[in-house]
């Protein structure tokens, strides 16, 4: 339940699970800690930057995916 519009606009509603090598994970977490940033925030920032620099033309994300097209 959203109490404030700003809170609702920033709520996360899905998760993403990935598998990486243990050493990469540990180094990533250490780098995040050194910058005093949560790992999830760093990943979200990267994802936004990646999406912005790699636009997909005319894709309707709400449309169902059809096979054989």
pTM for the model stands at 0.64
| Whole-number Cα distances in Å, 26 to 1, 9, 30 | 35, 31, 6
- pLDDT tens, N- to C-terminus, the chain (69 residues): 455 555 555 667 889 999 999 999 999 999 999 999 999 999 999 999 999 999 887 666 666 655 554
Angle at which helices 39-53 and 22-34 cross, to 10°:
100
């Amino acid at each position: 339940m959203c109490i404030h519009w700003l809170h609702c606009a920033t709520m996360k509603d899905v998760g993403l699970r990935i598998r990486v090598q243990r050493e990469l994970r540990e180094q990533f977490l250490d780098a995040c800690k050194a910058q005093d940033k949560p790992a999830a925030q760093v990943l979200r920032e990267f994802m936004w930057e990646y999406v912005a620099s790699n636009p997909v033309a005319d894709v309707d994300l709400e449309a169902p995916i059809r096979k054989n097209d």
